[in-house]
Structure 1
């Protein structure tokens, strides 16, 4: 986190001097960020102070330049100056983070993180995290090492606005001949409107908001615009020098107390964010001629302020990579101390060797200056040539960072291909297919990005959709001309079965119509319905049920059990039959619609009860044994749905436990095929290998129902 520095005044003290103490305040704020991230596990308010100071320094400086005589109206120069200040250190840290992940914690690299590399470089990481529904989490072995860069994206977006806004003001003053006083009034008015509107928007949830509100540029804008407004406060409006140290000390205490008093990150950037922001404002308005400001202007504090940007960049990915590679759920204190010391050292080196040499040191050009000619001339000097080489290296690193996502996507597409059943028999190994010696596939590092065709073809309804949204009419699989209709319904756990059902439908003459919604198993009534699904999901289920009754399909297929907890977030592995499921089956029976229930696949948990992705366990170096789960944990007894789905009233069940847990454990791979896509969904490859086993059970149901099919 940083802001371009104004030229230093030759006046050593007094309210008109360059605010060296604010450099120290910036350093103090980043110290709080690092300490709270490492040792407390929550936010400190330091980021809010950074955004506030960025508005004060950056936009204040831009607007002051706009009102100077002969300002340049070319927005490229402030943009280029900002790029040179911010991007070199960012690409160095991102490159080092990628190398560290590949070498030490490859399990951290996934589709979401690959997208975050692009988003961080192009300054929309805050919106990417929102799209990924990523709450701002404490440091752990599963937290994104790029999570902290949301704030850099907010800053970058506001900087672009600030450059455009200041260029407009410069045009009004220099070309439209608007007086400086009127231009300043208009600037203050616009910033005031932004501040009030953004603060109201950020506060719409009250004292505790949402992750999306935490990341939103619109919610954060008031912190920056308020800082910019403070830059317009005349110095004679500052607090009287007598007693100013009390105000400054109060401000520092308010900033310090924020992380202690406010326990949740979701309080920001709402009303409670006024605590650290007001504290920072008090330090500014107290001036710099008081003992507190003198302390903040000391060499240790200004050194910390100088490296603050690089320190912010380094500390979080270093903390996450070390935590994950060490196998810690949360960083131990000794690890935290080591991370802080290493971050300080890396930040100092980065500031000295990357930030300082590559930043723009010359003053911003005026309208009559010749910056291009001057830059060409500078290239002929050793220092200029060195900067050019450094810039070329930064450009290469930037391009490499942007390549992470397309390379990852290409690897996933290459991995998403049918496997040779002779070499990778998968589930057919359970019915005596030979299993040759081969490395299991698909690549467990990539398998999490390989999704079933129903979702890939946008035939699955996702979380944000309204309750009346249904699949498109063309979302039909199997034999599209067949008269026999099989409907598959439920949440994402039934989705992979679209693969074998599509194959079987084409081969045996039935069509498959999916009604699948994310985190939405089909439920009708039941006392525990809202303990399982949301109100939107429940309403969607009622609509789907009515549609199915109108269709009168030959068979409905869904999962018949689930673990405890809400859809999408199981609390334990053991499977049960919710009352809402049983109620649905009774309704199907009354409507004369046959139903086939598949016992759900296991949800993986480690011995301590924590969710575990068996693929990431393998990628992290675990053995097949250590990455397995006891079968008794997932299936503590016989199929609990069998008593409801016993063949009477055309209600059938398949106990699939042996498909996933053929012995006393549920292994990560069967027949050289990795079984799971993640912690609780089966992979496309394993679902495809289940085709023969599914048909051997499905044909019995068809025969009992008298349903027509091709043998």
Structure 2
């Protein structure tokens, strides 16, 4: 059989697509993990894409590049536009105001087929369902797929044209050479993409997951299967292996999602497991050679329906349920995720996904009974909407027949058709409306919030940290400030000024606009000769508003030496555990600068951090921090060592979000309903830096009492929002910390009291200073996940037992609202932290 000849239609492959979408939906709804369904989709997409497009490019009467693109968009875009528009409107109705701009921006990224780039730019790894994940997170795969298709179309057309042009008349290169060249090019590109995906998996898995270059090999492999193997006759001797091959293939596909973390592994080498399974399933449906009946075999190969030849898994895949799922798979994929997210948001009172014993999904968030009921309802509604979309939008708007070859995107007949013009016009208008909604909303919000930023808060109505430090009265019925709508208006001035090193930067940023301006990055008393360096990452940076107050009072100039996701003296990995070489390079340069240009009044930096890189407590002082402070002390440079903030963790490895929790009305008067976190989970009983840094030239600073009381660290203190996310101060609360920070830095009585506390801590530690005994540094780089060595089941249960109790009460009918336990603070997972304020470190 010629590899370029038209193929008989494979209904069993359609059924495989149906199996894939079933896995995607079930895993998203009830398991909360990545199945291998999307990877099977990409493989199957390649089967149906490359062979036909190569044949089309080599045909003198084939469609032009413009027509191919139009045909592709007519197949994909109408359903996408319908789903995105409907769900965006639903999101704007259901969501609170702080989520509107992000929702509209996500919708625009989906329609522009750049959702994968959009998620990657925001640092959002693929996350399980929860209140805070994007409605359009799943569109990343369609974006990457279309990017690959468009780039491949251009390459195929250009290469085919070049080969035809170089062909010599009478001898030499013939038309078949174009086929050979294109097939060889596909082999090379697929292999190169696989090698790149394996490399990037160990370097930056977050980007690897979304990258079209990394994903190409899955589609390319499907293309090679479609060209070389699909419909190739199998030798009669292997016919008996078709049934076991199909079964093994299905097992590999399903088991992948059960035993592998796809978000952490794909499209790396382990992706070969489900794709091998899909290949086995496809080969199991290939025809078997029969030498005794060549004519009948030839006729059978040309028939579009060869279901009678299928056995085992292949025969199951051509049954009605799988064929139905295959037909509606595209629309079902579009609908199920936003419906699932909206349902989770509506029925849950816990922001962010809650994991119980390694399980995520709607049952983990809503509880078993309610979760199953809502999950089933989501699936049924998704199926109904998918059928309606497929029947009344997808099918009617597809290209019914191939048009005559032309470089115009539409034929004259289409331009004269009023219904066609109306459909295109409506699509253009609706698309423009959706794409412009985000920028318009953001502009209006910025204008409103900028006016509010200029307002002075009445200290009687907004005592902030004085409510805890001085028992200042806190009036009720006062709106929380700063306004909860936008995180961007809660950032320290270094963000707007471009006075910090971004993740990709390795140089120290000392002037505005990331060193592109001549204006120096200085704060406080900018004309003073006394200088303090504010050094480290975002957890040093968010003290700048407070330090600015102190510095103006003490006549000190503040110079920021900052890099997101980095600290002095300790090269850190990225939040997801990937290597972060830019941090190590910046750290070396920052230290060199500090020692070459010592500040007059020292370095202000954090001297504790959570136990794990994700933020799980209690806090500790790593050996590298001690070594850094010792190096400063040996160089005659004083250290202002501030204890890190208590991180708002909802579950191990999953950060909360106090701002969204408060904005969505989840703030209550009951236990654990303060949108905050448990002090004992986040912080050690005694500041670990007191013992670890004893004997060094350091002033210990601990502001925990400003934000925590009675074992809780709430999201709102004195009518002022403490955190803009899960662990970074709002600029307003930070500024209000100024007087207490100045007291601990310069008041002799406060310094003496802290010194006494340090002496007591050292004595309680057996008179031993430094990091020793129970204060040995723990793993701050990565917390073991379920199934990995070092994972403690009870640790997860300790976080979620209160939540389990609350949901159990709901399921038994004894509670109507979720009384979230002290250990389940509301917030968003690390995947949802905005990169506008850097890494959560």
Give the TM-score taking structure 2 as reference length.
0.71
Distance of 2:456 and 2:231 partners within structure 1? 80
Please tell me whether residue 454 in structure 1 is matched to residue 494 in structure 2: yes
What is the match of residue 145 of structure 2? 155
Q: Which deviations, in whole Å up to 9, do the C-alpha atoms of 1:130-181 show, x marking residues without a partner?
A: 3333333333444433222221012101221232134335645877767432
What is the match of residue 655 of structure 1? 702
What is the aligned counterpart of 2:260 among 259, 263, 266?
263
What is the match of residue 438 of structure 1? 478
What is the match of residue 362 of structure 2? 331
Question: Any conservation in 1 of the 2:630–2:696 contact (CA below 8 Å)?
Answer: no
What is the aligned counterpart of 1:238 among 217, 233, 236?
233
What is the match of residue 154 of structure 2? 164
Question: Any conservation in 1 of the 2:481–2:719 contact (CA below 8 Å)?
Answer: yes
Aligned CA distance change for structure 1 residues 194 and 562 (closer, same or farther; 3 Å): same
What is the match of residue 196 of structure 2? 201
User: Cα offset for 1:676?
Assistant: 0.8
What is the match of residue 674 of structure 1? 721
Q: Secondary structure at 2:560's aligned position in 1? A: strand
Question: Any conservation in 2 of the 1:488–1:556 contact (CA below 8 Å)?
Answer: no
Distance of 2:121 and 2:408 partners within structure 1? 44
- The alignment yields a C-alpha RMSD, in angstroms, of 4.0
What is the aligned counterpart of 1:570 among 609, 615, 620?
615
Matches within 5 A, 1:515-526: 515-523=561-569
Q: Which deviations, in whole Å up to 9, do the C-alpha atoms of 1:530-559 show, x marking residues without a partner?
A: x9x978756754553443233232223535
Question: Any conservation in 1 of the 2:610–2:619 contact (CA below 8 Å)?
Answer: yes
Aligned CA distance change for structure 1 residues 176 and 373 (closer, same or farther; 3 Å): farther
Please tell me whether residue 482 in structure 1 is matched to residue 515 in structure 2: no
Please tell me whether residue 558 in structure 1 is matched to residue 607 in structure 2: no
What is the match of residue 643 of structure 2? 599
User: Cα offset for 1:348?
Assistant: 0.6
Distance of 1:53 and 1:448 partners within structure 2? 42
Question: Any conservation in 1 of the 2:13–2:282 contact (CA below 8 Å)?
Answer: yes
Please tell me whether residue 185 in structure 1 is matched to residue 204 in structure 2: no
What is the aligned counterpart of 2:339 among 293, 306, 318?
318
Distance of 2:202 and 2:608 partners within structure 1? 36
Please tell me whether residue 18 in structure 1 is matched to residue 9 in structure 2: yes
User: Cα offset for 1:582?
Assistant: 4.3
User: Cα offset for 1:310?
Assistant: 0.6
Question: Any conservation in 2 of the 1:112–1:132 contact (CA below 8 Å)?
Answer: no
Q: Secondary structure at 1:547's aligned position in 2? A: helix
Distance of 1:370 and 1:471 partners within structure 2? 52
Q: Which deviations, in whole Å up to 9, do the C-alpha atoms of 1:173-215 show, x marking residues without a partner?
A: 8777674322212211211211222222223478999333232
Q: Secondary structure at 1:454's aligned position in 2? A: helix
User: Cα offset for 1:609?
Assistant: 9.7
User: Cα offset for 1:440?
Assistant: 1.3
What is the aligned counterpart of 1:352 among 373, 388, 391?
391
What is the aligned counterpart of 1:501 among 536, 544, 547?
547
Question: Any conservation in 2 of the 1:440–1:674 contact (CA below 8 Å)?
Answer: yes
What is the match of residue 435 of structure 2? 402
Distance of 1:252 and 1:506 partners within structure 2? 73
What is the match of residue 302 of structure 2? none
What is the match of residue 734 of structure 2? 687
What is the match of residue 708 of structure 1? none
Matches within 5 A, 1:70-469: 70-73=61-64, 75-106=65-96, 109=99, 115-168=105-158, 171=161, 179-204=174-199, 210-233=205-228, 237-240=232-235, 244=239, 246-247=241-242, 250-251=245-246, 253-261=248-256, 262-265=259-262, 266-285=264-283, 286-287=286-287, 288=306, 290-292=309-311, 293-327=314-348, 329=354, 330-332=361-363, 333-367=372-406, 371-379=410-418, 385=419, 387-407=420-440, 409-410=442-443, 413-414=446-447, 415=449, 417-422=453-458, 425-427=462-464, 429-430=466-467, 438-447=478-487, 450-466=490-506, 469=508
Point out the more displaced range, 322-331 or 242-251: 242-251
Distance of 1:221 and 1:21 partners within structure 2? 24
User: Cα offset for 1:344?
Assistant: 1.0
Q: Which deviations, in whole Å up to 9, do the C-alpha atoms of 1:28-54 show, x marking residues without a partner?
A: 222222223333333332222211221
Distance of 2:742 and 2:666 partners within structure 1? 34
User: Cα offset for 1:404?
Assistant: 4.6
What is the match of residue 547 of structure 1? 593
Q: Secondary structure at 1:558's aligned position in 2? A: strand
Question: Any conservation in 2 of the 1:91–1:401 contact (CA below 8 Å)?
Answer: no
What is the match of residue 34 of structure 2? 43
Please tell me whether residue 492 in structure 1 is matched to residue 538 in structure 2: yes
Q: Secondary structure at 2:446's aligned position in 1? A: helix
What is the match of residue 171 of structure 2? none
Question: Any conservation in 2 of the 1:491–1:516 contact (CA below 8 Å)?
Answer: yes
Distance of 1:43 and 1:631 partners within structure 2? 33
Question: Any conservation in 2 of the 1:43–1:259 contact (CA below 8 Å)?
Answer: no
Distance of 2:98 and 2:384 partners within structure 1? 25
Question: Any conservation in 2 of the 1:628–1:666 contact (CA below 8 Å)?
Answer: yes
Q: Which deviations, in whole Å up to 9, do the C-alpha atoms of 1:658-679 show, x marking residues without a partner?
A: 3223666433223432111111
User: Cα offset for 1:86?
Assistant: 1.0
Distance of 2:690 and 2:203 partners within structure 1? 45
What is the match of residue 808 of structure 2? none
Distance of 1:520 and 1:684 partners within structure 2? 21
Distance of 1:485 and 1:263 partners within structure 2? 52
Distance of 2:29 and 2:409 partners within structure 1? 48
Aligned CA distance change for structure 1 residues 579 and 225 (closer, same or farther; 3 Å): closer
Q: Which deviations, in whole Å up to 9, do the C-alpha atoms of 1:377-427 show, x marking residues without a partner?
A: 322xxxxx1x44444443333223323542454356343524422276453
Q: Secondary structure at 1:109's aligned position in 2? A: helix
Distance of 2:187 and 2:651 partners within structure 1? 55
Show structure 2 runs of 5+ residues with no match: 169-173, 288-305, 355-360, 364-371, 572-576, 752-841
Show structure 1 runs of 5+ residues with no match: 1-13, 380-384, 526-530, 705-711
Q: Secondary structure at 2:616's aligned position in 1? A: strand
Q: Which deviations, in whole Å up to 9, do the C-alpha atoms of 1:86-123 show, x marking residues without a partner?
A: 11211222233333433445499387665543332222
Question: Any conservation in 1 of the 2:678–2:711 contact (CA below 8 Å)?
Answer: yes
What is the match of residue 8 of structure 1? none
Distance of 1:172 and 1:546 partners within structure 2? 55
Aligned CA distance change for structure 1 residues 163 and 584 (closer, same or farther; 3 Å): closer
